[in-house]
Structure formats: structure tokens, C-alpha cells
Structure 1
Amino acid sequence: MAIKKILMLVGDYVEDYEAMVPFQMLQMVGHQVHAVCPGKLPGDHVRTAIHDFEGDQTYSEKPGHNFAINADFATVDPAKYDALVIPGGRAPEYLRLNPRVIEIVRHFAAGDKPIASVCHGQQILAAAGVLDGRQCTAYPAVRPELERAGGTWCEVNETVSNAYVDGKLVTAPAWPAHPEWMRKFLDVLGSRIEP
């Protein structure tokens, strides 16, 4: 398996599982993952939030962990990366306001590089204007933004555990989809895990 260099965009109150689990899973199979955040340096942390599905009209939110940044957003060169991961949570709502975040996402989309985005991460994709004509999913509350950005909504199942692939774009509605989302992303990356 060829080792891939993967960039992950995070910010304060990124969803805990949606940052930590993919970060660890992708490293577990041998890929190199760099987590970056505007205004933070390697060794700094972002605070995370745990979003849970407990039968309310929307998710609940609880304090998460500190997630370590291991690369410098200010100097990162997206051309040196093979793929991009965008976790959800509350971070995407303000990260999408950063022009350099948008520039980085557009680089990956224009280069037809693999992009994995989950939950509210698709807010960044919508803001970057890279969803036109794409089939994808997201946390259901993001559906209006996804559709206004030209994306075609793919249904979310009851357990929010499904994922969709459109070319090299892999999207999922929330962290319960990690097994399917990461399996499909690894397929797009060309990674093979032998049984």
C-alpha cells in the first residue's frame, strides 16, 4: 500500500469523534495525517465537542477532549498532500469564513484529489462552491446549504451510519458512519487492508 499524505482541517469545537477517530484510523493503516487549524501552531490544541443522538430533535453537545495540532496552517502547502479530511461539529460554521480554508478546499477539488467530509464539514464544501452536480450527504440540517450549492442530496438512514461516494468525494452524515465512511475513503485512496 502506498502511504498517502492527508491534510485534516479542524478548529475549536470540531466534533470529537469526527476528528480523533479518522485521524487515528488513517494513521493506523499507515497514512501520514496532518491536522491544521487557522491561527494555531503545531503543539497547540483545539477543544472538541461530543455530539450525541439521544432522541431529541437535534444532537446534544457535551465537552470533548483537547485535540493536538501537528502541522502549521499558515505554511501548509496543499499541493504536497494526496487527500483532504473535513470533520464536522461547530468548527465548519466559522472555518468556512476563512479565505485560505476555501482556497485549500478548492485546490483539492480542482485537482480531483480525494476528499472525505462528514456531518457539518459539508458547510465548508458548500462555501467553497465545490458541490455543484455532486451527489453527497451531510447532517440533515445541512441539506439546504448542500442543495443551494448545487449538490444532490443523498438520503440519510435512521442510524446516520451510511456514506456516499461521488468520484473522489466521500461524505457521511455523522460519526456513527465512521466504519462505512472510512472504508469507502480508503477504497478511494487505493488503500487495501488484508483480512
Structure 2
Amino acid sequence: PDDPSEAGSVIEDRIVALVAAVNAAVNLPIAVKIGAAYTNAGNLLQRVGKAGAKAAVLFNRFYRMDVDLDSMSLSAGPMRSSPEAYHESLRWIALLEGRAGVELCASGGVYDGLAALKLVAAGAQAVQVCSAAYAKGYGAYSAIIEEMNNWMDSRQVASLGDLRGRLARRNSDKPELYGRLHYVKALIGQG
């Protein structure tokens, strides 16, 4: 959105209405890819689930811009995600797994098998890999799968289903660690 006068609720209502319209028009499962800048992503996901979406992809990476000071013009920013970018999806998937009303798919920053496994452990049903393939070629996919298999074999984890959601908030005996309290404790040295 680029109109500061448009309320966030209006944008979210439009998204929900669009999902409902698509759901009424097709007989296919719908996945909604959202950005990270919503006031309450969990509520939006519950609403799109009720409107007919079966899954949500966290998060869409919108176009990044930069400025060229020499020519005083706009230019393209980084086109690909970085290997650190998965952390935003990781946190939200861990917070929302089992509570969002839709299956969750992770997107952004998956360059290796360990990042993919972390997202599954947080609760992701699927993981999207794109920038790694652009950066490393299609061999990135087999390298990611091999690293996942090696890690799982070394720890006797039989399937992704055995790992999925084990580190989600709803399965934690300390759910407060998934929220703001963890940040405050880290700042004061108690984390």
C-alpha cells in the first residue's frame, strides 16, 4: 500500500473479499501469500481461512528500492533474499502454527537444509526456495534435500512429520519466549 490515508482494516477487508471471490469461482485449494507488515497477521490468516484459503505463505518479499545519489534517481534494491531472511517467517510460523486456521508455508532466506528444517520444526507444512536457486543454480535443491536427510538420519528423525511443529509456541512449556518478553529479557541480560 502506498496511500497513507487508507486504513489497514480496509486493505485486509479487500484481501479477505478477494479470497472469498476466488474461492467461489474455482474448485482448487487456495494459498495466500502475504507480506510481513500487518498489524495482526494471525487474525488476517484466520479471516482468509474462513473465506476459503487452505494455506498461507509467510512472507511475500516486496520489491526493494534504492537510490542512486550520483544520478539522483531511483534504482532497484536487492532482488534476492539473504540467507538470514528466514528468521522473520520462522518467528511467525512458530507463533501461529496450529492457531492460524490455515496451513503455513515458509518463504524467504532458505539457502540450506538447516534453515528448511528449522522452519519445519517451527510448524511449516512447506518451504519455498527461490533465491538459493538463482544464486547457486538448480543444484541448490538437491543440496538442501541432502543436508536435510543427513541431519534427520544422524538424529533418527524418521520423517518431516515427526519434526513438524515441535518448536511451535503451542507446543512449548514456555510460550512467553516466543513474544516480546524474550526481547526484553535479552536486553537486560536475563535471556
TM-score scaled by length of structure 1: 0.29
Whose Rg is larger? 2
TM-score scaled by length of structure 2: 0.29
Q: Which has the higher contact order (CA 8 A, sep 6+)?
A: 1
Give the number of the structure whose residues are more often helix, by fraction.
2
Give the number of the structure whose residues are more often strand, by fraction.
1
